[in-house]
Amino acid sequence: MTLIKSISGIRGTIGGKTGDNLTPLDTVKFAAAYGTWLKTESGKDKIKVVVGRDARISGRMIQELTMNTLTGLGIDVIDLGLSTTPTVEVAVPMEKADGGIILTASHNPKQWNALKLLNSKGEFLDGEAGSRILEIAEKENFSFAEVDDLGSIESIEDYIDKHIDEVLKLKLVDAEKVSKAALKVAVDGVNSTGGIAIPALLKKMGVEVIELYCDPNGHFPHNPEPLKEHLQDICELVKKEKADFGIVVDPDVDRLAFIDENGEMFGEEYTLVACADYVLSKTPGNTVSNLSSSRALRDVTTKHNGEYFASAVGEVNVVKMMKEKNAVIGGEGNGGIIYPESHYGRDSLVGTALFLTYLAENGKKVSQLRKEYPSYYMSKNKIELTPDLDVDGILKAVEERHSKAEISTVDGVKIDFPENWVHLRKSNTEPIIRIYTEAKSQKEADELAQKMIREIKEIIA
């Protein structure tokens, strides 16, 4: 069982001993730390926090503990109930709230849950804020409100609908055009809140929907990470129903993957590429993804005369660079679309609406669209080290070996070769180096990874 404390929040497995798992006591402690930080940060006498959850079995329990801890601090709470990560992000500024908490462990299995923390803009906290909250939690220096000053809880049950309405207002989303295209789409909602949000969006855009695992009961029917090896059921359903394509989201609906009309993966990395291709064709500009995302986004950005930038891994880092570079779209290669015209957060509803409009406009099949983009293949590996080794020194030695190549040390070491790249990152929690490679064939990507593993072993020896 596990409890992981990080600057972006706290996540862990349900049950077990306090301090080792996400128990009720741990939930209360970290909710109190966030509320205490928020009260200090805002400087206001009365503050408001939006809280929503995915459909995990533990969600209701964790949400009640979180909300009642906040009211115990004198904070008013807006309870969205079953929601999505992007819906909570949108709700914070719409409700003029001072912060937000999303109760979700994203793509982790059902025994996990987490408190993901937002600022007053509905964006994830930066490292400084996250570190401060961890310090407050460690000291447990909380001051709760007296009886006349307790906070209140207001329930708003239709925020997914409000979110959908905001998506449909976007200039590059054309529901009328999509409706005329008469598309049929299969949706795998992994029995979480994507099963509520995505079909509702599609129906409002005039799309015929075939639902698979869209009952938000928290019993995930397969591994909830939207990877090819977990998605055989929807791939078969798309073919059986002769659907135009399939949509898959993770439990909190910030990762988006497509299945083409032949039941083949469009490629999670290419979700952002396709949406960026459409956005850049209408609003030329810059793009951002993290260092471990596909080179295909750079290629598409260059095609539209924009400039591509790579940030350190992590949504907060992508958002920071998007603001610095005034990017018109960005995100992460795991199917996370960040479209600033909507908000600075990964949003599968926005990605779906943009993709549908793009398809309706160009009239192509999803498989045809995929063939228009350069094909890259990734390999993800790791090398385990003994705790006594100097990981930073090893990465420095790799950097020196390849000093003539294009190198970034923003986050570990990324080496860009003419035809491929390798990204080496050390883990913050265990003695390993993660090795990501990308090339124009799977064989080449795998061989590059093994070559780097051999180099690291030579350096250690």
| Residue 201 main-chain phi, psi, to 5 deg | -65, -45
Spelled out in words, what is the top-level CATH class assigned to the domain 3-157? alpha beta
Confidence band of 429 (pLDDT split at 50, 70, 90): low
Spelled out in words, what is the top-level CATH class assigned to the domain 163-371? alpha beta
Beta bridge partners of 433: 383, 426
**Integer Cα distance of 253 and 247 in angstroms:** 11
Confidence band of 4 (pLDDT split at 50, 70, 90): confident
DSSP type of residue 429: S
pLDDT (0 to 100) of residue 105: 93
Q: Which two tokens stand for residue 223?
A: 């591994």
Which of the residues 106, 120, 192, 293 is marked catalytic?
106
| Residue 191, burial from CB neighbour count under 10 angstroms (0-12, 13-18, 19+) | buried
Domain coordinates in residue numbering, the chain: 3-157, 163-371, 377-460
Beta bridge partners of 245: 185
The residue assigned the tokens 């999505």 is: 84
Percentage, residues of the chain above pLDDT 90: 90
pLDDT (0 to 100) of residue 228: 86
The contacts of residue 137 (CB under 8 Å, 6+ apart) are 5, 29, 30, 32, 33
Q: Per-residue pLDDT tens for 198-209?
A: 999 999 999 999
Q: Which two tokens stand for residue 131?
A: 């570190």
pLDDT (0 to 100) of residue 54: 98
**Integer Cα distance of 371 and 350 in angstroms:** 23
The contacts of residue 27 (CB under 8 Å, 6+ apart) are 62, 65, 66, 69, 115
Identify the CA nearest to 241 among candidates 264, 226, 268, 263. 263
Identify the CA nearest to 326 among candidates 284, 272, 275. 284
The average pLDDT across 353-364 equals 97
Q: Per-residue pLDDT tens for 257-294?
A: 999 999 999 998 999 999 999 999 999 999 999 999 99
pLDDT (0 to 100) of residue 5: 80
106 is catalytic: yes
Confidence band of 224 (pLDDT split at 50, 70, 90): very high
Identify the CA nearest to 27 among candidates 38, 37, 15, 39. 15
Q: Which two tokens stand for residue 432?
A: 């390993």
Q: Which residue has better confidence, 178 or 333?
A: 178
The residue assigned the tokens 């679309």 is: 337
pLDDT (0 to 100) of residue 6: 76
Q: Per-residue pLDDT tens for 64-84?
A: 999 999 999 999 999 999 999
What topology is assigned to 377-460 in CATH? TATA-Binding Protein (3.30.310)
pLDDT for residue 339 is more than 70? yes
Under the phi-then-psi rule, with left for phi > 0, alpha for psi from -120 to 50, and beta for the rest, what region is 190? left
Identify the CA nearest to 363 among candidates 208, 180, 175. 180
Query: Do the domains 163-371 and 377-460 sit in the same CATH topology, yes or no?
Result: no
Count, residues in the chain: 461
pLDDT for residue 295 is more than 80? yes
